[in-house]
């Protein structure tokens, strides 16, 4: 895989989502759609399913899945190098690609000619790419440094926006196109003691976005003030409208019982473009044991 060099037993692709024409309505399988880290395969939770972009995917552009609202690239200038381009430090890029075999140089040249003549990379990926991402028109979603093999990363983080560049990895030849870029989203754990200290400030509860993903019966047993309850099992209801209800630019804190479900949702929020997300380590159980014994345990 692009992001799993030591275990690449199949065709490379950091994402392998099944095509869908509607926003994600469950969280199962999300980890398989998220990028795999190159240094260590940090597998995400198996209970999430969502598009890796900041907006729901659609199939409005033929057979290729695109982030809704993102215009079809109008610039199809081919280049084989991107010297002098900004390194995009601290950025994430929205990438699509096409993969052909190492010995398919003639096919690669023909595809380059097609793109130079106005063909779209995503349409060509569906027909010719060897990567499982062909199901989504070669769309890999938002990626950051450290998630891809070096050659692909160099191409993705130096290519001018919308231009198609060529690079070679051990998997074969890639045609790579960066559709957009954004500041990198961050996800951190926050300890229960630190959260408790913040909770003592009334302005924190008013200004921060606090989300509890436990089920209603759990919340009845123990809860923290200011947290909006969004049960994980009801993701199909609140997931598609998350960016309408919450501001991706604000700090967001996610809580559950022991910190596992909240991490799943936190990773999903990161994929949706939320700028800074905090997962409450150990959940409300750790909060009760380490920070506030007045909160019941269960």
Q: Indicate which residues carry an active-site annotation.
A: 256
Q: Report the Cα 48 to chain-centroid distance in Å.
A: 11
List of residues 6+ apart from 275 with CB closer than 8 A: 183, 185, 186, 248, 249, 250, 251
Closest to 164 (Cα-Cα) out of 178, 146, 153: 178
Which are the contacts of 169, defined by CB distance < 8 A and separation ≥ 6?
A: 2, 12, 149, 151, 152
**Beta strand residue intervals within the chain, DSSP E:** 57-61, 64-67, 78-79, 91-100, 139-143, 164-169, 172-183, 186-190, 209-212, 228-229, 251-255, 276-280
């Amino acid at each position: 895989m692009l992001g799993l060099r030591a275990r690449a037993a199949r065709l490379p692709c950091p994402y392998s989502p099944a095509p869908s024409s509607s926003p994600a309505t469950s969280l199962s399988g999300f980890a398989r759609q998220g990028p795999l880290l190159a240094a260590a395969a940090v597998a995400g939770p198996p209970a999430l399913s969502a598009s890796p972009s900041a907006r729901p995917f659609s199939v409005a552009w033929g057979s290729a899945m695109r982030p809704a609202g993102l215009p079809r690239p109008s610039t199809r200038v081919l280049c084989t190098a991107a010297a002098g381009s900004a390194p995009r430090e601290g950025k994430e890029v929205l990438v699509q690609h096409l993969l052909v075999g190492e010995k398919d140089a003639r096919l690669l040249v023909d595809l380059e000619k097609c793109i130079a003549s106005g063909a779209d990379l995503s349409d060509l990926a569906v027909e010719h790419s060897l990567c499982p991402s062909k199901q989504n028109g070669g769309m890999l979603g938002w990626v950051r440094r450290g998630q891809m093999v070096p050659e692909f990363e160099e191409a993705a983080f130096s290519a001018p926006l919308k231009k198609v560049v060529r690079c070679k990895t051990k998997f074969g030849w890639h045609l790579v196109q960066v559709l957009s870029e954004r500041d990198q989203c961050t996800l951190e754990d926050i300890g229960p003691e630190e959260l408790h200290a913040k909770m003592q400030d009334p302005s924190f509860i008013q200004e921060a976005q606090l989300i509890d993903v436990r089920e209603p019966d759990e919340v009845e047993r123990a809860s923290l003030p200011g947290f909006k309850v969004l049960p994980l099992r009801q993701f199909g209801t609140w997931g598609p409208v998350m960016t309408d209800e919450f501001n991706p630019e604000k700090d967001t804190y996610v809580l559950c019982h022991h910190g596992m479900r909240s991490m799943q949702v936190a990773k999903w929020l990161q994929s949706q473009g939320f700028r800074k997300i905090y997962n409450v380590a150990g959940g409300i159980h750790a909060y009760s044991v380490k920070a506030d014994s007045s909160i019941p345990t269960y």
